Amino acid sequence: MIDQTKQILADLIAFPTVSADSNLSMINYLCDKLEKAGARVDIELDGSGKKANLFATLGPDRDGGIVLSGHSDVVPVTDQDWASDPFEMIEHNGRLFGRGACDMKGFIAATVAMAPMFARHVHHRSLHFAFTYDEEVGCLGAEQLAQSLLARSTTPSLAIIGEPTSMQIIEGHKGCFEYTTRFQGLEGHGSTPDCGVNAVEYAVRYVNRLLELRDQLRNMAPSGSRFEPPWTTLNVGSLTGGSVHNVIPPRAEVEWEMRPTQSSDANFVKDEIQRYCDEVLLPAMRTIHPGAKIETETIGEVAGLIPTDENQALKLVSELTGTNCADLVSFGTEAGIFQSLGMDVVICGPGSIEQAHKANEYVSLDQLKQCILMLEKLGQALARS
């Protein structure tokens, strides 16, 4: 199985599925592999027709199935100092190098390599494969897949998200909400600032209000929160605008994000910052220029994975791995989207997040073997169910 997994992983790494580009070649490759194993495969294109999700099923078409999920896209390699071609797998000292090796083509390769075995063992409980597009830029494919799953007559009950966790079980992470806020003012000469609307100045006031809200969030942490830090965080990533020192800048842009521990915190921030715009900033801007605007684009609002007292996915993966403990992580995944559909969800996959997104990304053979062992035990469990 490790040799088959390595070959499939080499093939997957060779597909340069950077989020900005198409993933169709990789999806078609996975479709062929799974269909040959006997799976029923659905491919769902995005609006552009250049990207797709894959959802495949082995076993009966009934409620209560198990989902093995991974994203097909990878982050860019631009300006990274790789020791080898990032889209050609290299094996060295027990490590497999290549873009996506751990995030998260290693897990996908292992599940597809195991598909023929799963096909022999699945009898009464269905097993699903969910491979998505554009996780790295806002979980766009998973959001589309979620809508498709809602429309189905049958619903899976468990999901295992194979993000790199060093094969440790993860039961929770914060959400990730990303925004770009744009300011339209009125340009003019720097010597007469009262005759223009300085978009940069209003963007600065907007940022100051966000920072005030960030301080308030520290006192709103849920009781007993296990997250680190325990409260919802807020970060301003960039503020851009203006061109030269003697021109009133008519446009500015703020990129910001928050990582909510609970949905009420996200609603609080969005309501408060919108109220500040409507009651303070916009009236002042429009006193001078009625056409002044403040517009916020939602880049992505990815739900967090909330730890629950009863989690059948956690129970199952604990039995498969022999691990009785579960932890939380700071990075985001698609897990919360599957949880929002009513599934019990955990994250567990080969490789370390410490290698993800970096030059010379790798997954160790030992990690892949541990993943294969978990999947073999999953096949045995399916045979008994």
- Phi first, then psi: what are they for 171, rounded to 5°? -115, 0
Asked if residues 108 and 169 have their Cβ atoms less than 8 Å apart, the reply is no
Give the number of C-alpha atoms closer than 13 A to the C-alpha of residue 255, restricted to the C-beta side: 6
Tokens of 339: 């949880």
> Could you say which of 21, 35, 44, 73 is catalytic?
73
How far apart (Å, rounded) are the C-alpha atoms in residues 47 and 30?
21
Strand partners, 362: 97
Per-residue burial over 129-160, b = 16 or more CB atoms within 10 Å of its CB, e = otherwise: bbbbbbbbebbbbbbbbbeebeeeeeebbbbb
> Could you say which of 103, 134, 135, 361 is catalytic?
135
Instruction: Return the SS3 of 136.
Output: coil
Strand partners, 298: 179
Instruction: Return the SS3 of 29.
Output: helix
Strand partners, 197: 186
135 flagged as catalytic: yes
How far apart (Å, rounded) are the C-alpha atoms in residues 268 and 283?
22
Residues annotated as catalytic are: 73, 135
